[in-house]
């Protein structure tokens, strides 16, 4: 089974990308940034997300990484993405799955634009670099910045982490118990807007 086929089994074959908390009910949504200028927001997000991800990836030495980048027909933007990834300390290994898929029809721009996907394993020591790339994605003035979506997957527990920008991070998966443990350990950082939904799903009173 290829890595690409394997990740589909982790979410019961459902499309897991973008707005994971709303597409896959039963997940978690964390508040990351706490105000301030752009650089400080990203650093705060990286710090908090690292704490959560240390629990998500406890007991494993590697992270399954899925990167998705928007690309135009000239492909030059992908070279820029790879260069920025390398500057951030993220180098794609030889063992990887790479594929392309059309951009959604409602995506602005030329109909020939597409999404480039790369799936590969990295050591857990790469976590901070990956989180920086994820949280800086909408901060055009920050570098390094590959401007790509970053999904971090723990195949052993079936949990997928999507740090979507400096504001927040989703954690979803098919293991209710694994999610419940993350919910309990990091309750203070859950997004207030969606807290009632998470409380109802996990049926545990808020900590005192």
At 207 the pLDDT is 55
d(C-alpha 26, C-alpha 20), whole Å: 10
At 33 the pLDDT is 80
pLDDT in tens, 140-188: 677 888 889 999 999 899 899 999 887 899 999 888 999 999 999 999 9
At 39 the pLDDT is 81
At 11 the pLDDT is 53
- Residue ranges of the chain with per-residue pLDDT less than 70: 1-17, 36, 73-76, 103-112, 140, 204-208
At 1 the pLDDT is 46
Helix 176-185, helix 195-202: angle, nearest 10: 130
Domain locations along the chain: 37-199
């Amino acid at each position: 089974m290829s890595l690409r086929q394997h990740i589909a089994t982790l979410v019961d074959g459902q499309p897991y990308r973008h707005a994971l908390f709303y597409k896959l009910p039963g997940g978690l949504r964390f508040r990351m940034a706490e105000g301030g200028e752009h650089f400080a927001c990203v650093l705060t997000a990286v710090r908090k997300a690292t704490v959560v991800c240390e629990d998500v990836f406890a007991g494993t030495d590697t992270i399954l990484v899925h990167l998705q980048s928007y690309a135009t027909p000239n492909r030059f933007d992908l070279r820029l993405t790879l260069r920025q990834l390398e500057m951030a300390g993220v180098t794609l290994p030889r063992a990887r799955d790479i594929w392309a898929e059309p951009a959604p029809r409602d995506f602005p721009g030329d109909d020939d634009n597409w999404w480039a996907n790369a799936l590969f394993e990295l050591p857990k020591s790469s976590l901070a670099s990956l989180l920086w790339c994820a949280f800086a994605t909408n901060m055009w003035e920050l570098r390094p910045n590959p401007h790509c979506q970053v999904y971090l997957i723990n195949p052993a527990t079936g949990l997928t982490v999507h740090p979507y920008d400096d504001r927040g991070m989703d954690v979803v998966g098919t293991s209710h118990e694994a999610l419940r443990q993350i919910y309990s350990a990091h309750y203070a950082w859950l997004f207030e807007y969606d807290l009632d939904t998470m409380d109802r799903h996990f049926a545990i009173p808020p900590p005192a």
